[in-house]
Structure 1
Amino acid sequence: ALKFKVLIKNKKVGTLEQSLLRMEDEYQGETEELSDSDFDSDDSEEEEMLPHQQKRSPSKRKGERKSSLLPQKKTKVRKTKIALALSDLVIYTKSQKFVSFDHSLQHQQCYENNSIGESYARKLARASAKEFISHTTRFITRIYPKGTRMTSSNYNPQEFWNVGCQMVALNFQTPGTQMELQDGKFLDNGGCGYVLKPEFLRDRNTKFTPRNVGAYSKPMSLSIRLISGHQLPPSSLSKTNKADPMVQIEIYGVPEDQARKKSSVIKSNALCPKWNETFSFNIQVPELAMIRFCVEDEVSLVNNEFLGQYTLPVLSLNTGYRKIPLMSKEGIKLESASLFAHVWFY
């Protein structure tokens, strides 16, 4: 039902019922003011700490009694103007400031979503993974990059997919492994932009955590025989323009499944390099695992040049002899360039 649809996340004025009543009136160009207390204001990265990490320095304790006698400054309430026409497009989910998992469980409505900064979300995922997953079974949760990423760099989205976060926001303007994982993740389900989470991340009574998969482990033995390459891109750093290609096969998923294996280097042959090498992986949670094939040119012992890659969910692999297409760093398909491999798993 959501295929090719766009979900709009924005501040909302009033309730859905009020929006439906407004549709009968002409209100083009009208706006309404909302205070910070009315909506989620957590899109600015704050110094957020877990409850058990909040400590006061000894000096602060001594001056605590003295400072409590001083008149408290009144917090200035910031107001924002919201266009009613835009507000009324928000019909499926409404932003709600995240306070704590307990607070959400007691007060949050099923149609309200939370936005959590990557730093705070990472602390929560490590310290309270079970509560985090329980939260994401009930509420849509969005993770966003911290404000100190001045160069628009990205974080690894896999660690937040592992705890069931539905929206993991990245800086799409910055290519790299993180965006390749993002593009690969959503190749699934016909590339429509929506992927169903595994059942253990939808069950409210789940005991799964990424660091303790327990009974949720469905081990897969994956074997990939890398046979050859075909018309790989030439090296831009080589004086002869001939690449010395090598292939890295990487697994991303729960911590136990993270793995990386390298092929040998084929000297001065990007046209049709032959490897005939077999790589084996044991994957505990294949439902969350991603596989990345990355072709590089060995420029020197300490420096490699990226030539192409292809990333996809492990469960999207088909057995047998397979042609693996290659994509550029910008995510554009490299015509004619590919790898040839035999895939087998059980």
Structure 2
Amino acid sequence: MATSTTDPKLGAPKLDRPELQAGGGTATAAAEARKLEYLNTTLTKYLKSIYDDVHTRYALGTKEGRSKWLLEEQQSPEADGELLQDGTFSHFSNYFMSESSSVLKTVLPVDESYPISNYFISSSHNTYLTGNQLSSESSVDAYKNVLLRGCRCVEIDVWDGEPPSSSSSEDEAASAGIPKVKKEKPELSIRKRLELRFGRKGSPPKEENSSHSQQSPPGDDKIALWRSNSSYRAEPRVLHGYTLTKDTPFRAVCATIRDYAFVTSNLPVIVSLEVHTSPEQQDIMVEIMTEYWKGMLVDLDPSQHSDSLELPKLKDMKNKILVKVKYTPPKPTTQVQPATLQAPAEPVKPIASASTTSSSSEDVPETEKKPSAPKPKITEALSRLGVYTRAYHFKSLDQPEATIPTHVFSLSEKALMEVHETQGPALFKHNKNFFMRAYPKGLRLNSSNLNPSVFWRAGVQIVALNWQRWDGGMMQNEGMFAGTNGWVLKPEGYRSSSKEETQKTAILHHNMDLSIEFLAGQDIPMPPEEDDPKDFKPYVKVELHVEKHEELEGEPIPGGGKSKAPEYKKKTKTQRTPNPDFGKEILKFEGIRRVTEELTFVRFKVMDDQRLSDDLAAWACFRLDRLQPGIRMLHLYDSNGVITKGVLFVRIRKIVSVAK
């Protein structure tokens, strides 16, 4: 798959051990990634000095001394003392080469006893894309990649398949594994290419000649084409509509989700459907999903589909796929007409411009919508799959659907910020009980991300991010979900069982003093553009992402929730080697107010000092309550989000007190 040559933050999914790539879940669960094979001379020098001091003050030769040091300075469990054994320097070193010395605190198993709306969920936006929003490829590998990295909510934009023809038969054969013979084509303008791609979407299929109708394409039956008794029928495809993104078969996407949804976790996966298909193609969608996800879909008697259906507990949804799709109320039985897959489809007219790239447009408030052709109505058969995640068009928090337990509202970042400013307390109250999804605005053509912590602090469960891009948004997503199974229980005041009514009172706010002493670094990865260690000039930038005053008061938030530079940031002096000696340099953040430990993030960025623009070399991001104090190894991801053997050797002091 192609990667962007102009934007280093964009890249194709990593297929080699994706569980070691950050994102939002299981990457840090790979124990071997948190172990060191050796300690270089600079780290050993500092470690020997620390050992002499600790041994003198705590008598590490005794079990009581080892336990006291772990409790008082490391704030670690007594069980870690087993690594120290007899307290010699050799075993002291073994402790720091193990995952027990990691800055990241071990995450306890999630409490699964709450309704599913009581959790933050690691979520992806336009999951099928491998790069930017306009011209990148769609790929089933993207679904495999994010699911193995802990993502628990994926998105599928589904469009009508091309009608069978000589050319589309070649495409079908290619999807089934038959090499496609390349033909010379005249160069077409973007306008013409868009017309050819979308101009006849939804048109009825043509009959194939006898030579086509009597043959079946060979290949893996997992992605075999749907067929009638007499001819091939186009199947739905997945792509970003009205752009030049390359499509991929809907059937292949469903097969990939089936195969990888529960490899790393048995907690449920939400599939957010953005449906642009005709009724006939929707019937095929239902057929494919029920075939491939058999036993995974929630199975309820139709009589249970009522507005009073309560959300289940997380523990009751294990190994289940929840389909988020727009709700269509059932018609009276006497009016239901059986659908036929051979009936001609109603054509879906394309909009006039190719610039509309926003996802989930049916959920955008009227004030933000741009004129476009009406979307196809969702059939009852497809709508019935959305049992606990029924999508409704959002008008206001006062609309009748806002009290239905199973409803989901999806809003763009801009629309959600407007609701936050005008109905802050109502928004918070709504999100304690019901699902809400936030997604990046359509103008983020380079797949950049919103600032997710702003929306988490408003109680939004599903903050969909572009996993195709490495930026502050995705780094915070890793900080929220690192080491988890992609579902994180909200703070107590954010849950449906709490009586707290506002974001301001829902969680304790603290004052904090944070001190980070940098001792040394080992094997720090260099930026992709740098290949000579002698030219690598690293420094570490530390950023705090703290709740702003405007968030608490329901005022307009600076930047509108965009991923902007944080208010608090400091950096070390520049070094000149991948194995730097920082000389015990200390960065201090004193008297920081409005700190909520569960919703504040600390980000470390190792930058390459350049004359014009500094390049990102490595990074790490932690939720404040998981940032362990003491003498620690801070393990680094490279600029493409892959865990490395690079570490920073640091001493962290953190004092948190209740704000008065």
Q: Normalised by the shorter chain, which TM-score bucket?
A: 0.7 to 0.9
Query: Could you say which residue in structure 2 is the equivalent of 1:232?
Result: 524
Q: Which has the higher contact order (CA 8 A, sep 6+)?
A: 2
- Report what 2:625 is aligned to: 315
The answer to whether the aligner puts 1:80 opposite 2:377 as a matched pair is yes
Alpha-carbon distance in 1 for matches of 2:443, 2:341: 35
Q: Which runs of 5+ in 1 are unaligned?
A: 22-26, 34-40, 50-75
1:107-122 residue pairs with structure 2 within 5 A? 108-122=403-417
Q: Which residue matches 1:290?
A: 601
Give 1:329's match in structure 2, choosing from 639, 644, 647. Answer: 639
Instruction: Give the TM-score normalised by structure 1.
Output: 0.74
2:616 aligned residue: 306
The structure 2 residue matched to 1:133, chosen from 412, 428, 434, is: 428
Cα distance, 1:183 vs structure 2: 1.8
1:91 is the counterpart of 2:387: yes
CA contact (8 A) 2:500 2:506 kept: no
Distance 2:570 2:362 in 1: 38
Equivalent position of 2:399 in the other structure:
103
Are positions 1:18 and 2:302 aligned together? yes
Moved over 6 A (4+): 27-33
Partner of 1:4: 267
**Aligned pair in 2 of structure 1 residues 100, 47: CA closer, same or farther (>3 Å)?**
closer
Cα distance, 1:321 vs structure 2: 0.8
Q: Residues 269 and 127 from structure 1, CA distance in 2 versus in 1: closer, same or farther, beyond 3 angstroms? A: same
1:179 pairs with one of 470, 474, 477: 474
Residues 1:163 and 2:491 aligned together:
no
Q: Aligned letter for 2:512?
A: M
Residue in 2 that maps onto 1:344:
653
Residue equivalent to 2:11: none
Measured at CA, do residues 291 and 81 of structure 1 come closer, stay the same or move farther in structure 2, by a change above 3 Å? same
Q: Distance in 1 between matches of 2:446 and 2:425?
A: 33
Q: Which moved more, 1:215-224 or 1:173-182?
A: 215-224
Deviations 1:116-160 (CA, angstroms, capped at 9, x unpaired): 111111122233322211111121100112222222222111211
Kindly provide the CA deviation profile for residues 47-92 of structure 1, in whole angstroms up to 9, marking residues without a partner as x: 627xxxxxxxxxxxxxxxxxxxxxxxxxx975335483x6554332
CA contact (8 A) 1:31 1:81 kept: no
Q: CA deviation at 1:278?
A: 2.1
User: Which residue of 533, 538, 554 maps to 1:245?
Assistant: 538
Letter in structure 1 aligned against 2:376: K
Which residue in the other structure is 2:96 paired with?
Answer: none
Distance in 2, matches of 1:91 and 1:317, equals 38
Number of aligned residues: 300
Residue aligned with 2:301, SS: helix
- Listed as ranges, the matches of 1:180-259 within 5 Å are 180-187=475-482, 190-202=483-495, 205-209=499-503, 216-234=508-526, 236-237=529-530, 241-255=534-548, 258-259=567-568
> Residue 238 and residue 77 in structure 1: after superposition, are their counterparts in 2 closer, same or farther (change >3 A)?
closer
Larger Rg: 2
CA–CA separation in structure 1 for the residues paired with 2:510 and 2:531: 45
SS in 1 for 2:610: strand
- Aligned-partner Cα distance in 2 for 1:109–1:214: 23
Q: Check 1:89–1:227 CA distance in 2 against 1; reply closer, same or farther (3 A cut).
A: farther
Deviations 1:247-278 (Å, cap 9, x if unpaired)? 01111131259421111112x22223324122
1:45/1:146 contact within 8 Å kept: no
- Matched residue SS, 1:299: coil
1:213: how far off?
A: 6.0
Deviations 1:27-59 (A, max 9, x none): 9997999xxxxxxx744656627xxxxxxxxxx
Identity within the alignment, %: 25
Higher share in strand: 1
Q: Report matched runs for 1:42-57 at 5 Å.
A: 42-43=361-362, 45=364, 48=367
1:160-182 deviation line (CA, Å, top 9, x unaligned): 11101000111111222211111
Amino acid at match of 1:322: R
> Which residue matches 2:574?
265
Partner of residue 143, structure 1? 438
Give the residue type in structure 2 aligned to 1:186: F
Q: Does the aligned pair in 2 maintain the 1:144–1:168 contact within 8 Å?
A: yes
Query: 2:448, 2:632 → 1: CA distance?
Result: 33
CA distance in 2, matches of 1:97, 1:134: 19
Q: Which has the higher helix share?
A: 2
> Do the aligned partners of 1:9 and 1:90 also contact (CA within 8 Å) in 2?
no
Superposed displacement of residue 288, structure 1: 0.7
Check the 8 A contact 2:494/2:506 in 1, yes or no: no
Q: Aligned pair in 2 of structure 1 residues 291, 240: CA closer, same or farther (>3 Å)?
A: closer
Change in 2 beyond 3 A, CA 1:165/1:147: same
8 Å CA contact retained: 1:30, 1:83: no
Conservation of the 8 A alpha-carbon contact between 1:19 and 1:88:
no
Contact 1:31 1:82 survives alignment (8 Å): no
Contact 1:9–1:95 (8 Å) recurs in 2: no
Corresponding residue of 1:277:
585
- In structure 2, stretches of 5+ residues that fail to align are 1-111, 117-265, 276-281, 287-298, 306-337, 346-359, 550-565, 656-660
User: How far apart, CA to CA, are the structure 1 residues paired with 2:407 and 2:533?
Assistant: 58
Indicate the SS of the match to 1:134: helix
Report the CA distance shift for 1:196/1:215 in structure 2 as closer, same or farther (over 3 A). closer
Distance in 2 (alpha carbons) for counterparts of 1:78 and 1:323: 52
SS in 2 for 1:79: coil
CA distance in 1, matches of 2:636, 2:342: 48
Shift of 1:197: 1.1
| Structural RMSD (CA) | 3.6
Cα distance between partner residues in 2 of 1:162 and 1:248: 24
Aligned partners of 1:46 and 1:96: how far apart in 2?
A: 11
Contact 2:410 2:437 in 1 (8 A): yes
Whole-Å Cα distance in 1 between the matches of residues 387 and 475 of structure 2?
31
- Displacement of 1:215 in angstroms is 7.8
Q: CA 1:215–1:113 in structure 2 vs 1: closer, same or farther (change >3 Å)?
A: closer
